[in-house]
Structure 1
Amino acid sequence: MTELAVDTANRSAVPWFKNKKLDQYICFWSVPVFYTLFGLVFVPLSYMMPPRSPAAGIAEVVSFMQSPTLLIASAILILVLGLSAVANACYAVQIRRMSVSPVFLYAFLAGSMVGAIVGCLFPMFCFGLGAFRPGYDPEILAMLYDFGYLSFIGSLGCFCLNWGVLSLAIVLDKNAILPKWLGYYTAWQFATELFAATVWIAKDGPFAWDGLMAFWFNIVIYVPWQIIVYVCVFMAIKNQSETELYSSELESAAPNEKLAYS
């Protein structure tokens, strides 16, 4: 408690630009910027979300795939997609503080990379390609349409790995970095993403990619979870002692140990 009191006093006395957690806070606040731009790309610019019907006619598909705003959406996504790595790094830093094996951290990072590529980059390439080459045959545009939506919604299972790892790490952690209930909530959230497997089979009804179970049920669980988990991550950063920071470890290390860090 004495250490915490000293740490709190030191934080209040230090100007914000000299705060040793400034780098973490910068990374953290880049996350809402990313998700705002992400929503802009996939909703008003591409009109990809809410998802269009997998049973849409060729004329409707061609009209959608040749929208000029798809190119603008693609350009914005390519510029900001790297921020998704920063967002996942905010999770990873907190996993590193937990009393669990490093394999949790590595598995989380690997799962995050796979999910971002397959579930975000591929779909925008498919939809942007249709607008970039308006001379494509309608059948090719229909194939890109299917590929884009199946990749975006049908790959949600990729995220089961990293959210499952995060959930298990929180539950097993003895350092109380994040609240236990968040671990169980996270488990419930990623379990709903398993319904994404059904979009490869159903073309209509609740299990299609625009259906009640495969999409809307998952969204209702995911959106509040995403907000809550970042509030918890922010509180974890705020409560983190400066003695736990990497920079503090580096400053206190002997010269030969500093060489090992680098």
Structure 2
Amino acid sequence: MQVSINAQRALIWWALAMMVAFMLCFVFLIKMVPLPAATLNAEQVAAIYRNNSVSIRIGSIICSWVAAFMVPLAMVITMQMRRMEQGWPIWSVLQLCGGCLMSMFLVFPPLLWGVAAFSPGRPAEITLAIHELANLTLVTTDQYFIFQYVAIAVIALTGQQSALSPFPRWFGYYTIWTAIMFELGAFGFIPRTGPFAWNGLFVFWIPLTIFGVWIVITSTLILGALKRQAQIA
């Protein structure tokens, strides 16, 4: 049991380290925080990739390496949820599938930003199309997040509460709220300005912030539960 606990700790810290590396590259190398305004024309967007071609490509390399940080975290969440399920662990498996699949949509945007910067001399309209695909892939792809969050919420709200569980009831409600706020990202397809634009408050800033906070809270709860489980073991 002790080996399993140590492995779970390692996976959590691995996921957190990858997330930090992703965000640092996202902000300082790819320079997409905040995302450029959706009102920029093709030449203005192409200029961004021409002027920052090397930086964006380096950032895309690193981000592509670390963007699947949800996979190790989802694995540990699954192991902890399994402790609370009776019979075949359908909610645990659903959470694992959702967590792994959602990681793809964190991998695709840096790949596309790297493609846009790879040939800065191409026609500006092509770069604009790649740029729009990257940004909309980042903010509107919440299709798999919901499976992970609903499964966790079900276990937190209906599972047997104990000192060894990392999922208190309040965390279930918090996860539901997080899932609802993520669904707002789909509105990024409609306006180009305002709070529902792809760089707006409800589509970019709130989901980005609560996603990071949710990961930190989840990791903290699980690390605390692992400590208690190790003491019992």
TM value normalised by structure 1: 0.79
Output aligned runs, 1:39-188, within 5 Å: 39-66=23-50, 67=52, 68-99=54-85, 101-117=88-104, 119-176=105-162, 177=165, 178-188=167-177
Q: Secondary structure at the match of 2:103?
A: helix
Q: How many residues align?
A: 227
Residues in 2 aligned to 1:113 and 1:27: alpha-carbon distance in whole angstroms? 14
Give 1:79 deviation, angstroms: 2.4
Alpha-carbon distance in 1 for matches of 2:107, 2:208: 20
Task: Give the Cα separation in 2 of the matches to 1:93 and 1:138.
Answer: 48
TM superposition outliers: structure 1 runs of 4+ over 3 Å: 81-84, 219-223, 241-244
Q: Distance in 2 between matches of 1:212 and 1:130?
A: 25
- Work out whether residues 61 and 141 of structure 1, in 8 Å CA contact, stay in contact via their aligned partners in 2: yes
Evaluate the alpha carbon distance shift between residue 166 and residue 145 of structure 1 in structure 2; reply closer, same or farther with a 3 A threshold: same
Q: Once the two structures are superposed, what CA deviation does each residue of 1:159-214 show, in whole Å capped at 9, x if it has no partner?
A: 12211211112111114312110111111111101111111111111111111222
Q: For 2:185 and 2:4, how far apart are their aligned partners in 1? A: 41
Residues 29-58 of structure 1: per-residue CA shift (max 9 Å, x gap): 212211110111211010012222111122
Aligned to 2:9: 25
Measure, in 2, the Cα distance between the counterparts of 1:65 and 1:160: 33
Determine what percentage of the aligned residue pairs are the same residue: 25
- Equivalent position amino acid for 1:225 in 2: W
Q: What amino acid does structure 1 have at the position aligned with 2:206?
A: F
Match of 2:226 in 1: 237
Aligned CA RMSD, in angstroms, stands at 2.2
The residue number in structure 2 matching 1:228 is: 217
Structure 2: segments with no counterpart, 5+ residues: none
Are residues 1:214 and 2:200 paired? no
Moved more, 160-169 or 137-146: 160-169
Structure 1: gaps spanning 5 or more residues = 1-6, 8-17, 245-262
C-alpha distance in structure 2 between counterparts of 1:186 and 1:45, whole Å: 31
TM-score relative to the length of structure 2: 0.88
**Higher Cα Rg, which structure:** 1
Q: Residue 171 of structure 1 contacts residue 180 of structure 1 at CA under 8 Å; is this kept in 2?
A: yes
